Structure formats: structure tokens, C-alpha cells
Amino acid sequence: MLLSGRGSNLQSILSASQSGALGGDIALVISNRPDSGGLDIARDAGIEIALIDHQAYATREAFDASLAGALENQSLDLIVLAGFMRILTPAFVSRFSGRLINIHPSLLPLYPGLNTHQRALDAGDTHAGATVHYVTRELDGGPSVLQAKVVVQPDDDADSLAARVLQVEHQIYPQAIAWHLSERLQFTAGTLYLDGVALPPTGQRWESV
């Protein structure tokens, strides 16, 4: 797993792993930031951790080569981005193609990139949400697996909306990872399949909450 921050998605995935709902274990947690809460959560759970600080590398290519080096000896089924804040190079993405998944805090294809909650509020959207997608070289442009919606409340600010979206992230991300690990979900040759059936571009919908 790759992360940069607090690690609440790590916590939800760890809980699913411990209950048997995930169908797998977290082998390694890597952060690009020394102060990530996610590193503390992983350490306390006895998971191997690594700090690969992007500021120590002159180029994105050098940073990604170091990341790839840490990941390649592990025979990982899936590399999970959970609040990971560095854009990955095409070389890294193609090396782990079909085995890289991300959760993005918007209803993709709306609002790829950063500052998603404020952008949804500024647009006057009635709904916001989160999307699990496979990672391709196109930022937040890979095929969607699972999407969850929440209702925007009149008094929401970016923080309150982010907190509501985070609750559904904790539901859909372990689910999507479990599908991948059980091989119900496959991303091959640019097409995404669930139980052998090609998924529509928006992925599966989780019920509105």
C-alpha cells in the first residue's frame, strides 16, 4: 500500500483483512512523507513499513524507481494507493499495469486531481462521492470499479463534505480490493471485467447514503 497521510483508508482495509472479509493481507506500507499517521497505524499492526521521501530524489523517475525497487521483491497481488499524493510516472504505471488501484474523492469523471470537495461545492453539485479506479498513466482517468454517492448538505464546507465522503470510502475500497484478490475483478488489455462481464465506464454503483 502507498499512502501519504492519516491512513483512515489503511485502517478500514486492515480491519477487513483482520475479519477475513478482504481475502488477503497487507504486506507492506510505504509513505512518501515521514509524518504520515498511516505509518504509525501500520507499525502498530506489525506491518512492514518503508519511508521513501520524494524530497530526497532529484526527479520523479528516480523516486518511482526507488518505489518500484521496494515493491518488486514482494510478489504483490495488488498495489493500493490510499491517499497517496504523488503522481506516478508512465514507466511505473506500465510496470505494475493491472495491479494498481486508487480511491479518488470525487464522482469521476468529475474533478480529477486535487481539491475535489471545494470544486464540487463551488459547482453547486447536489451529490459528491468517491470512486475506486485502476490506475493508468492518465491521472484519475483509469476505469472505475465502484462509485459511492453522498448528498451535499446546504451547510457543508469542504471539511464536512470530505468527512462524509470518507465514510463511504471506507465501505467501497475494501470491497473493491476483495473483488480483485478473489479474481472476480480483472483489468486486462484496457478492459475491466467483473465476474467475466465488461463493466460500464462508471463502474458499479454503491447505494446512495
Select which of 104, 117, 133, 170 is catalytic: 104
Nearest approach, Cβ of residue 155 and ligand NHR (Å)? 25
Nearest approach, Cβ of residue 133 and ligand NHR (Å)? 7
Q: If contact means CB under 5 to 8 A according to the sort of partner, which of ligand GAR, ligand NHR, none does residue 86 touch?
A: ligand NHR
Residue 9 engages ligand GAR in binding (rule: CB under 6 A): yes
State which of positions 28-67 bind ligand GAR (CB under 6 A): 38
Residue 180 known to be catalytic: no
Residue 72, C-beta contacts closer than 8 angstroms, at least 6 positions apart: none
Q: If contact means CB under 5 to 8 A according to the sort of partner, which of ligand GAR, ligand NHR, none does residue 129 touch?
A: none
Residue 1 engages ligand GAR in binding (rule: CB under 6 A): no
Nearest approach, Cβ of residue 79 and ligand GAR (Å)? 14
- Interface ranges with ligand NHR (CB under 6 A): 81, 84-88, 93, 102, 104, 113-114, 135, 137, 139-140, 142
